[in-house]
Structure 1
Amino acid sequence: MALVLVLIFSYLIGISKGQLRVGFYAETCPEAESVVSAVVRDALQSNPNTAAVLLRLHFHDCFVQGCDGSILIEDGPGAERHAFGHQGVGGFEVIERAKEQLETVCRGVVSCSDIVALAAREAVALASGPFYQVPTGRRDGRVSNISQAGDMPDVSDSIQQLKAKFLNKGLSEKDLVVLSAAHTIGTTACFFMTQRLYKFPPGGGSDPTINLEFLPELKAKCPQNGDVNVRLPIDRGSERIFDNQILRNIRDGFAVLQSDARLYEDQATKNVIDSYFGFLSPIFGPFFETDFVESIVRMGHIGVKTGSRGEIRRVCNAFN
């Protein structure tokens, strides 16, 4: 029943917001979504972590200049994708592979930014998350500049900074929590853990909000003088399944990332997390999957270019 609600609700969102719409390519390229689906499925068979990578790529694309494929451009060190805030972002080759196949069946029709959004949906579904309708019709941007990616949310941001950055994109405190819960799949590098484990301000040491049962486990995986490129699951115990376990971990002090842990220090975001685990939830409370779909569809509308704005790139890593 919950999945049915997700599908209906997200469909209504898709046909009611902006100039994007569900089924945009139904006549011009009816194979568009099935082609992207097949490419993503093949990529996940080779590397299951690709699901998290593609979901993160969609987020990072939308947070800089809107969802316009600007992060895909590779035209030198000044391109957006080389920004500090985009460290570790990947999945570019999957998007290029889908674009190449689409150009053989409907040349010059499907935008790279839509491919990113569709690939993220497939990634979520293949990780046992909800399958939702994706409003399409985005066009690709003509600007990709590293200087415009300086305000990405960061793992070391305070909760006030995170809330402000999301609000600046038209996203609520609830969106902040639910989209952060996308960390339910994937890994992070010890590089992002050093400060939290060994140099936590103001006096150094470890972040006191880390559960004392969890702290030795984190330090064993990321020793102080160890390899900062070693990776560890972001969602303890559920790294490849899209579910709300990440929110349980945040509540119980088992958050891996500092930015996730901060969500339980603010009353507004704490209330959102607790709402999924109340006595009457999920029977009468909010459904996490439904809320996630609402939030990611809303995020997918940030700064979109439609109509005559932007372009449909021939390849995703270069302007026409």
Structure 2
Amino acid sequence: MASKYVVVQILLTLLSVASLSKADLYSDYYDKTCPELEKIVSETVLNASKYDPKVPARLLRMFFHDCFIRGCDASILLDSTPANKAEKGGRPNLSVRSFYVIDQAKAKLEKSCPRTVSCADILTIAARDVVVQSGGPSWEVLKGRKDGRVSKASDTRNLPAPTSNVSQLIQSFASRGLDVKDMVTLSGGHTLGFSHCSSFEARLQNFSLLHDIDPNLDSDFAQDLKKKCPATPLRDQNAGQFLDSTASVFDNDYYKRLLAGKGVFLSDQSLVGDYRTSYIVDAFAKDQSLFFKEFTASMLKLGNVGVSTNGEVRLDCRVVN
């Protein structure tokens, strides 16, 4: 058993090394032009999180959704205009919140070092900070991104859905230069957060011709979800379920719950039943330090997706210059 586990660790390491991104980003990019950058962002994120404990999960999700559309270019931060419905208006992003945190950090940075730091870099740093402040790993954020000028709601149709199967997830991540290991690892970001009933209630009734409830759900957990999400039009629209049992702490509980049949999303639970992903779930459930190591590597890769050096540095993250 021990030798099998060592092999899994070696395979994960090889996958990471084989797919490193080569974007021209640097950890010291702002050291001379904006030396207070990381301190300002970190303090802004921490203060917002103290006021609203939902902020960490929201900012991490915001970063994922930004990078998955046009690359990490802060296009998710742009507001819609009369002539264009931006990514914020796309259905998958209607529940993305806490844009004000990035606005606050940007306003402070414009005073400290005007016209210097891109909104894309602020969001990337903030995503790292919420992980660290929630008890997760830290890493040197590579910087030098520029902000994009295009944001279309129609593009959000390409975001992975909570109803996706493993093959669909693999294809979606691969189209962005991310491999199977990255997909399973980044799914672990669900260790922070909450989902409304609409994202998983299809698993609780009329699931298939043979099963009313998704048979991959733990039976007691399924009944608990049904109580929280009753099939009635009078249901509380804010009802839902935390994605793991320690939803404010960044840890490996998410993977342990998948093995116990307590994954909230169909897309999450499917990772256990597929040979291409199950061994990674098992490894992360057993070894939190391994998960942290791989999450760091995958976040660095995600942060390099579609990076542009031809954009702009927005003065206001909500509008193009």
Give me the TM-score of the superposition, normalised by structure 1.
Answer: 0.90
2:126 counterpart (114, 119, 129): 119
State how far apart, in whole Å, the 2-side matches of 1:299 and 1:155 are: 19
Q: Deviations over 1:84-118 (max 9, x none)?
A: 22231122110011000100011100000001000
Letter in 1 for 2:153: I
Q: State the 4+ residue runs in structure 1 displaced beyond 4 angstroms.
A: none
Letter in 2 for 1:288: F
1:288 corresponds to 2:296: no
Spell out the pairing of 1:120-269 with structure 2 (5 A cutoff).
Answer: 120-202=127-209, 205-225=212-232, 226-235=235-244, 237-269=245-277
Counterparts of 1:136 and 1:243, CA distance in 2:
26
Gaps of at least 5 residues in structure 2 are 1-16
Deviation at 1:16, TM superposition (A): 7.9
1:287 aligned counterpart, secondary structure: helix
- Give, in angstroms, the shift of residue 199 of structure 1: 3.2
CA shift, 1:17, in A, is 3.3
The amino acid across from 2:258 in the alignment is I
C-alpha deviation, 1:23, in angstroms: 1.7
After superposition, give the CA deviation of every residue in 1:222-264 in whole Å (9 maximum; x if it has no partner): 11212343132111x2111100110010111011111100111
SS in 1 for 2:69: coil
CA contact (8 A) 1:190 1:227 kept: no
> Over residues 182-207 of structure 1, what are the superposed CA-to-partner deviations in whole Å (9 max), with x where a residue is unaligned?
00011110111221112323556211
Query: SS state of the match for residue 232, structure 1?
Result: strand
* In the alignment, structure 1 residue 304 sits paired with structure 2 residue 311: no
State whether residues 78 and 86 of structure 2, in contact with CA within 8 Å, keep that contact through their aligned partners in structure 1. Answer: yes
Unaligned runs of 5+ in 1: 1-11
Kindly indicate whether residue 26 of structure 2 is the aligned counterpart of residue 17 of structure 1: no
Mapped contact 2:147–2:311 kept (Cα < 8 A): yes
> Is this contact kept in 2: 1:222–1:228, CA < 8 A?
no
Distance 1:310 1:120, change over 3 A: same
Say which SS state the counterpart of residue 195 (structure 2) adopts. strand
Q: CA RMSD in A?
A: 1.7
Task: Say whether the 8 Å CA contact 2:252–2:285 is kept in structure 1.
Answer: no
Contact 2:253 2:285 in 1 (8 A): no
Give the letter for the 2:236 counterpart: D
TM-score normalised to structure 2 length: 0.89
Cross-structure match for 1:108: 115
Instruction: Give the secondary structure class of the aligned counterpart of 2:131.
Output: helix
More deviation in 46-55 or 76-85?
76-85
> Which residue of the partner structure matches residue 9 of structure 2?
none
Per the alignment, residue 35 of structure 1 pairs with 40
CA contact (8 A) 1:96 1:315 kept: yes
Match of 1:87 among 65, 82, 94: 94
Aligned to 1:59: 64
Whether the 8 Å contact between 2:80 and 2:86 is mirrored in structure 1 is yes
**What is the alpha-carbon distance in structure 2 between the residues aligned to residue 175 and residue 250 of structure 1?**
17
Q: Is the 8 A contact 2:21 2:304 kept in 1?
A: no
Q: In the TM superposition, what is the alpha-carbon distance from 1:75 to its structure 2 partner? A: 2.6
Partner of 2:319: 318
1:128 to partner: Cα distance: 0.6
Q: Do 2:255 and 2:285's aligned partners in 1 also have CA atoms closer than 8 Å?
A: no
Deviation string 1:127-180 (CA, Å, 9 cap, x unpaired) is 111121100100000111112222100001121111100011111111111101
Q: How many residue pairs were aligned?
A: 299
Match of 1:47 in 2: 52
Q: Separation in 1 of the partners of 2:112 and 2:43?
A: 14
